[in-house]
Amino acid sequence: MSEPLLSVQGLRKHFVQRKGFPRPRTVIVRAVEDVSFTIAPGEAFGLVGESGCGKSTAARALLRLIEPDAGQVTYRGQDVRSARGSALKALRRKMQIVFQDPYSSLDPRQTIGSALMEPMRVHGIATGRDARDRAAALLEEVGLPPGALDRLPHEFSGGQRQRIGIARALTLEPELIVADEPVSALDVSVQAQVLLLLKQLRERRGLSFLFVSHDLSVVRWFCDRVAVMYLGRIVEEGPSGRVLADPLHPYAKMLREASPVPDPAQRGVLPRIVGEIPSAANPPPGCPFHPRCAQAMPVCSTTAPRWTSAAGGGGVACHLHG
């Protein structure tokens, strides 16, 4: 097996907040806790879970858009967390992100051409006419006319803005794209177009993806492997076909059962996901899912489950399979 493109081991990110009045107290929010996974060259790896489970925080921490508190992140064997100066700048070229909200991720006062050419100038790739030609070619590659270079973001629809965001991520010829819920803010019909574009770019350019989403059907279609996150931790990981068709962890099963099936013959009332995610500032002891789990045992409330390898690939953190 070849060396992974990206390796994340024991990633942790806590936020310290001051809450309360008139006597504020310090609260530690455990957003990401001991997250580990790898991404192979050319692979699409999905992170799924309910809103607030730490998916986006983990993605931003491994890119150092926010600084992680602990853990190891290596890109082609190079330590990302210790990189400084020119070494970090070189890593930035190889790992790019497509943000969730196409309306807030573009500067409203900056033309599209300027947004695409600025990274080229900063990294010394191209300037002047050469940079403009490269930007025009990128727009055509994502399905927009070259004339869009001189226009402002407010002149485009949400789907077009997300295409611009994708073009901006491609300006530095990256190998890894972190797609942070790239279609969740778009209409359903536009989602399909953007997803097809991402898949075509992956095949044409040989890109790897970390695909963050709460939509299981999108992840099943796009990703080779998937990890299910709950309260800052990965509770199950493996090939997307196995995890999403026959999940082992009760939380992964709950997500699958609550996911709508696009088949009129199977219409019906979707099962309700019981309870709410506990606060990351006060997580429950033992298995973090046990307060919502119908299969919880006494050991679940006192002891954190160990990671166990699963038949068919991947693994699961659950006492039912320990």
What DSSP string runs through 44-87?
EEEEE-STTSSHHHHHHHHHTSS--SEEEEEETTEESTT--HHH
1 has pLDDT over 70: no
Please check whether residue 301 is in contact with residue 252, taking contact to mean a CB–CB distance below 8 angstroms.
no
β-bridge pairing 315-317 and 44-48: unpaired
Name the helix (H) or strand (E) containing 91: helix 85-94
Number of folded domains in the chain? 1
Q: What is the pLDDT of residues 183-221, one digit of tens each?
A: 988 888 899 999 999 999 999 999 999 999 988 999 999
> What tokens were used for 303?
């002891």
139 is a domain residue = no
224 is a domain residue = yes
10 is a domain residue = yes
- Say which residue the tokens 């992170």 belong to: 47
265 has pLDDT over 80: no
pLDDT at residue number 182: 93
79 is a domain residue = yes
Q: What is the pLDDT of residues 118-169, one digit of tens each?
A: 999 999 999 999 999 999 999 999 999 999 999 999 999 999 999 999 999 9
128 is a domain residue = no
CATH of the domain at 17: 3.40.50.300
β-bridge pairing 315-317 and 307-309: antiparallel
Give counts: helices (H), strands (E), the chain: 9, 12
The Cα 3–Cα 162 span in angstroms is: 32
266 has pLDDT over 70: no
Q: Which domain holds residue 222?
A: 6-109+152-257+272-321
270 has pLDDT over 70: no
Chain-centre distance of CA 300, in angstroms?
A: 28
Write out the E strands in the chain: 6-19, 25-39, 44-48, 70-75, 78-79, 95-98, 176-180, 208-213, 225-230, 233-239, 307-309, 315-317
Contacts for 67 with CB less than 8 Å, ≥ 6 apart: 61
Of the listed ranges 143-147, 222-226, 259-263, the least confidently predicted one is: 259-263
18 has pLDDT over 90: no
Q: Residue 267's pLDDT band (boundaries 50, 70, 90)?
A: low
233 is a domain residue = yes
Q: Which amino acid is at 278?
A: P
In the chain, the largest separation of any two C-alpha atoms, in whole Å, equals 68
From edge to edge, which strands make up the β-sheet containing 225-230? 95-98, 176-180, 208-213, 44-48, 225-230, 233-239, 315-317, 307-309
15 is a domain residue = yes
116 is a domain residue = no
Contacts for 221 with CB less than 8 Å, ≥ 6 apart: 195
pLDDT at residue number 262: 64
Taking residues 77-103, what's their average pLDDT?
A: 94
| Crossing angle (nearest 10°) for helices 112-122 and 128-141 | 120
